[in-house]
Structure 1
C-alpha cells in the first residue's frame, strides 16, 4: 500500500540542471523575492533601510512590481488594502527597528480586519543575536516581541536555507481563515551574503480550509428552520470569505432579516426587502435583533461597534460562525461553529428548510422607518446631502477607503456600499491616516477602476506625504478631504463631555496648493458642487484631490432603551 506521505516528488532533468547550476550574483535577498514570486506574488510594498538593502537589491533582478511609500505605516495600510481587494497575501518589505516599529499601527488594523499582509523585516546581523555583541544601529532587545501581540504568527530565518520555508509558512498562515498579517524576520548579513543555493521555483503553501463540524451545522440548520423570528448579523468574515452570495441565498430561504456590521458593508444588498442595512448604533435595530428567537451571527465577534457599545443583549438562541477562535463565543454564549463563513453557509444551505414569513419584510420596513424618523428629527441635512453626493459621484464598482472621520462614521451606518468588498474603513483598530494610503494599495491592485479615499484634515496630515507616491506611480485615486479645521469628532466628544474642547484645533496647509505642488490636480469644492467636482475627478485618470471645507456633525446614536 502506498501512502501520500510516502510519495517523493522527483525533480525533472531540467530542474536538476538548474539546481546544480544556479545563476551567479545572487544574495539572500534573491531567495526572498524568488520565494514570493514562486508563491504567486506580483506586487510588493515597502520602504528600504540599511539592514534590508539585500532584499531591495534583489528586486531589480525579479519580475515583482515595487510600490514604495514614504512612511512604513502607510506602506502597511497600502498592503492591507491590496490584500483585501485581491484576497492574496500582500508582501510588505521593512527595515529593522524604527522602520519595522512604524508599521505596527497598520498591522494592528490588518489584524482587526483580517487582511492578509506578509511583512518581511530585516534584523541586525546574526553576530548581535542570541547574546552576541550589541550596539548595532536600529537594534531592539527582542524585535519579534514587539509584533507577537499584533500579528497572527511570527517566523524567523537565521540562515539562507531557512528563507523559503519561513516565507512559505507565513504565506500559508496569512491566508488561512481568519486571514491576517504575519511577520518574517531575516538578519542583515543573511540577506547580503552571496548565495549558491538553487533558485526557488514554485512553492506549495496552500492554506488549510477551516471546515465546520457537520453535527453543529445540522443543529444550527434545525434551529433556524424552526425559528419564528430568525435574524442574521453579517460581519467582515462574510466579505473576507467571498460569501455574500451564499448569505443572500440563506436569508431568502429562511426569510430572515439581515443587518451588516460596519466591517461587513456590502455583504447583503442594501435595498433588499430583508435588509436592515447597517444601522447598528440605533436602538430600533438593537431591539429588533434582541427580539429574534434565533440569531445567526456570521463572521463577526460582536465587538464594541457591532453590539451597539455592548448594550446588545440577545434574548434568543445565538448561532455564531467565526473563523477566529479568539472571537468565538467571546461576548455572548452561543452555538459556536469554528469555520470559514463560506463553508459554513454552504453547509447550512444544504440542510436548512425553507421558511415562509409574510411579515418579515414589513417588520424590516418598520425598523428602517423608525430609524429614518429619528435621524430626520436631528436636522442633519448637510451631512446627509454630502454623503448622498459622494454616493452618486462614485461608480458602483469602485472601492472606497474611509479614514476615522465624521463623514466615515456616517458612512458606516448610512452608506450603500452597492457590492461586497467595495467599502473599507479603519474601524477595526481605529487608527488615523488609513484612507489615502489604503486607496493607493487598492489602485495598485486594480488599476482599471477609480478609487475613492475619504479623510478629515486631521487624518489627511498623517498621510500627506503619499501624494508623492500617488504621483510617482500615477495611481488612480481621488482623495476627498473634509476640512473642518481640526479633529472634528474629538471636538464633539470633548465639548459634549467637558463643555469645551482642548487640543483639537489644527493649523493646516492649503491642501489644493499642496497637492498641486506634488503635481496632483486639486479643486476646492462646496456641498452644492461636491457631486459634480468629485465625479469629474474620479473620471480623470491618475491621482487628484477634492477639498471640501465643511463642519459636519455626527448623528446622535442611541444605546439605551
Structure 2
C-alpha cells in the first residue's frame, strides 16, 4: 500500500538530477548558508574569524545579505532587533572562543526579551575536541557549556551531514513560543572540507504551536466574566504573539483596565479609555492592580520591573498566561495557563461573557490624574518635555531602541509607543550598549521607516564603533546621545545613598566631531531645538547623530525597594 505522505517524499526528476550533479567547489559552509536560505533567511549578521572562514566564504556564493558589525556583542544586538522586528530567526555568524564569548551579553538580552536569534559559531577542529587542551587558537575546554545557561537550546555538529538538521532544529527552537536565542557550533574542518552532499533544497522547521488547555481557559473565562473589578497586565508576550488586537477586544468585552509592562509597550492603545498606560513604578498603579479581584496577566512573568520591584502583592485571584513555562507562577500563585498569548486570548474571547461596567474609565482617569499630580509636584518639566519632543519628531510607525539611561527609564513609563513592536529597550537583561546596534538591525530589517536610537554618553561608548557600520551600509538610523558627563543614574543612586558619587564621571569625545569623522552627520542640539533637529535627521536618509548635553533626573520612586536596576 502506498500512503499519500510516501508520494510527497518522492523526489521529482529535476530534484534527482540536481542531487546527482551538485555545484562544484562547495564546502561545509555552503551547507550552512543553503540551509539558512532554505529556511527563509535573507539577512545574516556577524563577524568573520579564523575558524569560521568556511562559512563566510560560502556567503560569497549565496544570495544572503551580510551585515557585518565591528564587535560581536553589537552584532548580537543587531540580530536581536532584526528578530524582534521581523518575527524571523536572525542568523548571527561568529568565530570561536573570544569572538563567540563576546556575544554572550547580547544573547542574554535576547533570552530575557525572547528575541529569536540563531547564533552559529565555529569551533576548533574535531581532532582537538574531547575535553583536553590541545593548544588551538581560541580553544575553550567546553565552548557550548559557556552558552548553555544563556540560550534556549544548544546544537552541536560534528559532521557535514548533521549541519542541515541541526540548523533546522535550532531554527524551530528559536521560533517556538517562547522565542529565544539558540546556539549551533560547527568545527573548523567540517566547515572547510569539500562536500559531496547535494545542495540543501528542502528544509522543514515549522515552529510548534502552544495552545491553551481548554479546561483552564474555561475557568479563566468564568472568573473574568463574574469579576467585580477585573484588570489586565499585558507584557511583551502579547507583542511577540501579534495579539494586541485580541487583547483590545477582550479588554473592551470585559470593561477591564489594562496596564502594559515596559516590555509590552504598544500592546494596548495609550489613549484608550481603559488604558492605565505603563506607570508601573507608581504606587497608585500598584494599588489599583492589587485591588483587582481578578487580575489577568498575559505574556509577563511579573518580574522585578513589572511588579514595582517586587512590592506588588495581588489580593485577588490571578490568571497568568505565559509561554515560558519557567515563568509560570514563578512570582505569584495563579491559575497558570501555559500557552501562546494569541491562542489563549482567542480562547478567552470565544468563552467570556460581556461584562458591563460604566465606572471603569472613571477609575482609570482617577489613577492617571494621581500619577500626573505626583509628577507635577517634582519639578521635572525638562524630562517630560524632552519625551514630548521625541514623540512629536518620531514618525508614528518608526521603531525606537533605548539604552539603559535616564531618558529611557522615563520612556518606559511615559512614552506612547503608538503601535505594537515599535519600542524596544535593554530592560530584559539590562546591559549597556544595546540601542544603537539594535537600531541598525531594525533598519536592516525594514528600510522604509527611519529608526531612533537613544543612549547616554556612557552607553554610547560601548557601541561607538558601529558608526562605521551605519555608514558602510547606509542604514537609516538617528542616534540621540544624551550627554551628562558620566553614568548619570549611578551618580544619582550613589549621591542619594552615600552622599557623593564615585567612579561615575567620564572623559568622553566630541561626539559630533567623532560622528563626522566616520562620515556621519552630527548636530549639537538643546531642549528647545531637539524636536526640530530630530525631525530634520529623520527626514534625511542615512545615519545621523544628535547630541543633547543635559543633566536629567529620575522621578522619585514610589515603590518600597532599594533602587532601580543598574544602568549608566
1:71-110 to 2 correspondences below 5 Å: 71-110=71-110
List aligned pairs for 1:446-461, cutoff 5 A: 446-461=446-461
Task: Give structure 1 stretches of 5+ with no counterpart.
Answer: none
Aligned-pair CA distance for 1:559: 1.0
Mapped to 1, the partners of 2:549 and 2:315 lie a distance apart of: 45
- Counterpart CA distance in 2 for 1:2 and 1:231 is 55
Per the alignment, in what secondary structure is the counterpart of residue 353 of structure 1?
A: coil
Q: Secondary structure at the match of 2:325?
A: coil
CA contact (8 A) 1:450 1:478 kept: yes
Deviations 1:305-344 (A, max 9, x none): 0000000000000000000000000000000000000000
Indicate the residue corresponding to 1:415 in structure 2: 415
Distance 2:355 2:91 in 1: 46
| In 2, Cα distance between equivalents of 1:226 and 1:151 | 41
Is residue 2:131 matched to residue 1:165? no
Residue pair 2:51, 2:122 contacting (<8 A) in 1 also: yes
- What does residue 243 of structure 1 align with? 243
Matched, 1:383 2:383: yes
The CA deviation at 1:5 is: 7.2
What CA deviation, in whole Å up to 9, does each residue of 1:118-172 have, x standing for no partner? 0000000000011466110000000000000000000011000000000000000
Q: Which moved further from structure 2: 177-186 or 1-10?
A: 1-10
Instruction: Report the CA distance between 1:54 and its aligned residue.
Output: 0.2
Map 1:134-533 onto structure 2 (within 5 A).
134-533=134-533
Seen in structure 2, the aligned counterparts of structure 1 residues 162 and 354 have a Cα distance that, compared at 3 Å, is same
Length-normalised TM-score, structure 1 = 0.99
Superposed counterparts of 1:40-55, under 5 Å = 40-55=40-55
Please give the per-residue CA displacement for 1:4-42, whole angstroms capped at 9, x wherever unaligned.
876761100110111111011000000000000000000
Shift of 1:387: 0.9
Moved beyond 2 Å, runs of 4+: 1-8
Aligned partners of 2:465 and 2:135: how far apart in 1? 31
* Cα shift at 1:453: 0.2
Change in Cα spacing, 1:370 to 1:132, as seen in structure 2 (3 Å) is closer
SS of 1:185's equivalent in the other structure is: strand
Q: Which residue of 2 aligns with 1:543?
A: 543
SS at match of 2:365: helix
Which residue does 1:21 correspond to in 2? 21
For 2:87 and 2:557, the matched residues in 1 are separated by 34
State the alpha-carbon separation in 2 of the partners of residues 132 and 453 from structure 1. Answer: 44
Q: Structure 2 vs 1, CA of residues 131 and 145 (structure 1 numbering), >3 Å: closer, same or farther? A: closer
Distance in 1 of aligned mates of 2:156 and 2:454: 37
Q: How far off its partner does 1:202 sit?
A: 2.9
Contact kept? 2:80, 2:116, Cα under 8 Å: yes
- Which residue is 2:564 aligned to? none
Q: Deviations over 1:266-322 (max 9, x none)?
A: 000000000000000000000000000000000000000000000000000000000
Aligned with 2:23: secondary structure? coil
Contact kept, 8 Å, 1:478 with 1:538, in 2: the verdict is yes
Q: Number of aligned residue pairs: give it.
A: 561
Indicate conservation of the 8 Å contact 1:283/1:560, yes or no: no
SS of the aligned residue for 1:263 comes to coil
SS state of the match for residue 559, structure 1? coil
Question: Partner of 1:320: helix, strand, or coil?
Answer: strand
Q: Find the aligned partners of 2:327 and 2:497 in 1 and give their Cα distance.
A: 32
> Which range moved further: 1-10 or 388-397?
1-10
Secondary structure of the 2:147 match is helix
Q: 1:133 to 1:390 in 2, by over 3 A?
A: closer
Match in the other structure for 1:555: 555
2:236–2:299 Cα contact (<8 Å) kept? yes
Give the whole-Å Cα distance in 2 for the aligned partners of 1:465 and 1:500.
32
Does the 8 A contact of 1:127 with 1:133 survive in 2?
A: no
Q: Distance in 1 between matches of 2:36 and 2:526?
A: 46
Give the C-alpha shift of residue 2 in structure 1.
Answer: 7.6
Instruction: Tell me the distance in 2 between the aligned counterparts of 1:352 and 1:423.
Output: 31
Whole-angstrom CA distance in 2 between matches of 1:260 and 1:142 = 41
Q: CA RMSD in A?
A: 1.1
